[in-house]
Amino acid sequence: MVQRKWDYVDVVIVTGDAYVDHPSFAMAILGRVLEAAGYRVALLSQPKWNTCEEWKRFGRPRLFFGISAGNMDSMINHYTANKKVRNDDAYSPGGKIGLRPDRATLAYCQRSREAFPGVPVIAGGVEASLRRLAHYDFWSDTVKRSILLDSKADLVVYGMGERPILEIAKRLSDGETVKDLRNMRGVAYALGASETPPLDFESRPSITIPSFEKVTSDRFSFAEATKIIHTHTNPFNAAALVQYHDKQAVVVNPPDLPLSEKQMDRIYGFPYTRKAHPSYSESIPSFQMIKDSVTIMRGCFGGCTFCSITAHQGKIIQSRSEESILKELTSLGKSKDFSGVISDIGGPTANMYQMRCSRPDIEAKCRRQSCIDPTICKLLGTDHGPLVTLMQKSRRVPGIRKVFVASGVRMDLAQLSDDYMRELAAHHVGGHLKVAPEHTDKKVLSLMKKPGIDNFESFGEKFKQVTKEVGKPKQYLVPYFISSHPGSDLNAMIDLALFLKRNGYKPDQVQDFIPAPFDVATCMYHTGLDPFTKKEVFIAKHLRDRKLQRALLQFFKPENYFEVRKALEQAGRTDLIGDGCDSLISSRAPKQALEARMEKTNRRFQGEYVHQVKSNLGDDKAKSTGYRPNRAGARRQERTMPPLTQKKSPLSQQTEGRFH
């Protein structure tokens, strides 16, 4: 502000991530969009949230506070699938944890109001976007209210926010109030108890979904609400949704329209420095991973039920022009600190560039959840030609030695183009290629909206053949699988483990299913129902069951031996315990398994027992403060036992001394 001679700012954007001026980070894009329109923008990154003092750093913003928990939901950022605290935070300097609070959107909104009452508070980002209506929260195992009510934000911008945030700034600057913004697309808002929701939006009648009270008490109501919400995600035909929380209504307007190619080019063409803020002395892990990557598109029409990309970025693919992408590559090639290697050229997926419905009139009416499940829609444009041409031209840009594809390849689409498969294998694979078959069980894959495992096998055979033809036979696939997904029981996981053994796969990293807010699979996890059919779905909810499924994915690791054995015995598959080639594990525990169990036991009982807590006086010989060192009384209360009136039996008299 001093350098730019500003005495005020228009917008303060608060984020739970470290600030990186790179187009892969949402706050950088939003800041540049507002800056290009002439607004003064301040970024408040990872502020200390115990007071509102840091919110006062830039003075009172003229227009609004923009709040985001960061590129991830703060709870997923903090905790593993087993609800344990993560050891690092990829979006913080040095990977340090603890630089943002749990449920960061709530804390940031509260501090904004404390700092400057009356300034509009606009929440956005993944966390607010996926919690805009009543939702299941995995970490508290409860259904929570809309984040609008708990955060008291004036608006929630859901989905991608470039166009909405610019419209909000312009309209507030023109003198409109925050209530006047309720007619915008891509926003959600809470009405007062005496206000009535609108009857329609752009001539389409509003739809009232089951209330918070109903979805909290009845799983079928929760499933029905989920079905309606996901049926109204197409911006061309979605209706406004209304959900009551007691007497107060939350209204979600239809999603914002997809960006045009020209708008995408403009957003990604801003003068990003592609650097972390100079105040950081330590590197930011997520930035190191993507700093030399180039985004070519956004959105995904796969519709995977466990994935939030479609819910946040939309189903319609929005692509940049070839000219815009090559311009960014040329700029990178001229950079002094650029290594010459593009780590990834892609987006949510590697091979959906410029793919859209070939019939816009049908696209405007379609309510299909996935364009490629259970089969690829005949109206979907699946031409890989533009992508192949882009890949070829990207390699010829001066200063660029190699262009890798690190985004996940959609295998069912890739097999439709021999040219793409050959181009990929010959020039864009760095030894291994990431793919995501996710599971082998047909029922589980159907619930995921993923193709059958035979699709992965045919892709593997084709990839192997092509790599030999292009002279790179040592390239291989790295498949990703998920454990404990709704529908997956021990028998399904055992079949997956057998598939891995037959094919020689030993996954180093596995993914436990995490029920993220808003996802269809999360509804299945919470209700035990498929929201679209209302049929019962098996759920592995207990931690012990989830541990067994995870162990089966890595059955070959000695430290997992006892969990795998327990899973096989529990499933009645002891035929897979033995020393033959058809066995999954040996009949005897390997030495490493016994050592791992002993080490685990020692860790559990390491240090002093709970009743040996020392006093806070620093004296090792000081009297212990007991089980509850912070209790009001200094001494443990003496328990007085009532006299025994019942006559003791001879047996109790004999054993009394032993057990007492």
* CATH number assigned to the domain comprising residue 47: 3.40.50.280
Contacts for 93-100 with beta carbons within 8 Å, 24 or more apart?
A: 93/18, 93/276, 93/280, 93/281, 93/282, 93/283, 93/284, 94/282, 94/283, 95/284, 95/285, 96/282, 99/16, 99/18, 99/46, 100/16, 100/17, 100/46, 100/49, 100/69, 100/70, 100/74
The distance of Cα 165 from the centroid of its chain, to the nearest Å, equals 22
Residue among 448, 264, 206, 257 nearest 363 (CA): 257
Total structural domains within the chain: 1
* Residue 78: inside a domain: yes
Residue 313, CA atoms < 13 Å, CB-side half-sphere: 20
Give the 3-state secondary structure of residue 353. coil
CA 268 vs CA 22, 264, 265, 324: distances in Å: 9, 6, 5, 8
What digits encode the pLDDT tens for the residues 184-225? 999 999 999 899 999 999 999 999 999 999 999 999 999 999
pLDDT confidence of residue 604: 65
> What domain range includes position 93?
11-193
Q: Taking a C-beta distance cutoff of 8 angstroms, is the pair 322, 357 a contact?
A: no
Residue among 53, 36, 43 nearest 12 (CA): 43
* Residue 20: inside a domain: yes
* Residue 628: inside a domain: no
pLDDT confidence of residue 590: 87
* Residue 223: inside a domain: no
* Residue 660: inside a domain: no
What digits encode the pLDDT tens for the residues 328-346? 999 999 999 899 999 999 9
Task: Please name the helix (run of DSSP H) or strand (run of DSSP E) that holds residue 462, with its range, or none.
Answer: helix 453-469
Under-50 pLDDT residues of the chain: 608-630, 634, 636-660
* Residue 60: inside a domain: yes
Contacts for 500-507 with beta carbons within 8 Å, 24 or more apart?
A: 500/553, 500/555, 501/555, 501/556, 501/584, 505/479, 506/554, 506/556, 507/478, 507/479, 507/480, 507/481, 507/553, 507/554
Token pair, residue 615, equals 């006093």
Give dist(CA 441, CA 454) in Å, integer: 11
Please list the residues that pair with 81 across neighbouring strands: none
* Residue 53: inside a domain: yes
Backbone phi, psi, residue 323, to 5°: -60, -45
Q: What is the 3-state secondary structure (H, E, C) of 95-146?
A: HCCCCCCCCHHHHHHHHHHHHCCCCCEEEEHHHHHHCCCCEEECCCCEEECC
Please list the residues that pair with 511 across neighbouring strands: 482
* Residue 150: inside a domain: yes
Return the residue matching tokens 């031209």: 393
Give dist(CA 215, CA 224) in Å, integer: 9
Which residues are CB-neighbours of 325 under 8 A, at least 6 positions away?
294, 296, 345, 390, 394
